[in-house]
Amino acid sequence: MARILTITLNPALDLSVETPDLALGRVNSTGRTHIEPAGKGINLGRVLKRLGHEVVLSGLLGADNAGPFERLFADEGLEDRFVRVPGDSRTNIKLAEQGGRVTDLNGVSFDTPADAASRLQFRLAGLIDDCNAIVIAGSLPRGWAPAQLAELIRFCQRGGAPVWLDASGDALTAGIEARPFGVKPNHEELAEWAGRPLPNLTAQADAGRQLQQSGIAHVVISRGGDGVLWLNPRRDLLARAPQVPVTSTVCAGDTLLAGLIHGELSGLDDHTCLQQATALSAECVRHFGVGHPDADDIEQLQQQTRVTPWPDTELSGEASS
């Protein structure tokens, strides 16, 4: 299998809380709760490791609460190459209501030291030449300018491996300027980047093609319960996932991208690659945490995932609805 480097600049301890519909301003009872180290690159790395790859994790990590992260990395066989910085990595609260709505309460990150970017580049210099793919994912900590993200992408591109970006807001806008190999916005993040509403698949596809025309080969648009649109240089595909009970959507996008990168590096054809990645993402939303490739019914979920060409799709009304 492949050796993959993921970079997380703003890790977090995620406290996920399952709850009935929230009554604001009142006392609410909770169901299950779950806390674990997270951050998009860490989540991606965990899924890729479960899929059989060798995974190296890097980025910035608060030294004052690094313990839970270090235990997770050791337990799951993830190579820890994070740069420690003073302070705590943030704590996020994810409120998952029974109807599937998730409310995020994201905490404040550590302050990025002035030398953090140079220290990280020094750490990565010994890693980027020995990887089959690199993923930079997640938000930016305080003091890390969006332009520095573009610089980081360009630095990683020197190693020759494809560099994927999963970011939003100013980080996505700045990162796109560095022309990564692939990006994975959700439909809301894509609309924010485009600066206009994208109410249907056609509008989303048009915005995605703008990104391709700028020099980005792969654009993966996650659309929540409506599936995934993958624009790639070979052919564009639309996936519709099976209907499953939703507990939390927090790690679904990370699981999707991990599954797609796995398929690409494993030489799967595009149809199978997207089918497996979408099914794995559907498996993920049924519980807290990242997807389980070894779930008992994963093959059934794959069989129930429908992948068709886009725009030559048989899904009636999908192009304009």
Catalytic residue among 14, 166, 236, 254: 254
CB 238, CB 309: distance < 8 Å: yes
- Rounded Cα distance between 196 and 245, Å, is 32
Q: b vs e for 144-163, b when ≥16 Cβ sit within 10 Å of the residue's Cβ? A: bebebbbebbebbbebebbb
CB atoms within 10 A of CB 233: 8
CB 82, CB 41: distance < 8 Å: no
Which is nearest to 309 in space by CA: 252, 215, 234? 234
Could you confirm whether 254 is annotated as catalytic?
Answer: yes
Which is nearest to 9 in space by CA: 55, 35, 40? 40
User: What is the distance, to the nearest Å, from the Cα of residue 77 to the centroid of all Cα atoms in its chain?
Assistant: 20
Amino acid letter, 255: T
∠ CA 177-220-96, nearest 5°, is: 110
CB 186, CB 221: distance < 8 Å: yes
User: DSSP E strands: which ranges in 203-298?
Assistant: 218-222, 228-231, 237-240
170 burial (CB, 10 Å; 0-12 / 13-18 / 19+) is middle
| Catalytic residue positions, numbered | 254
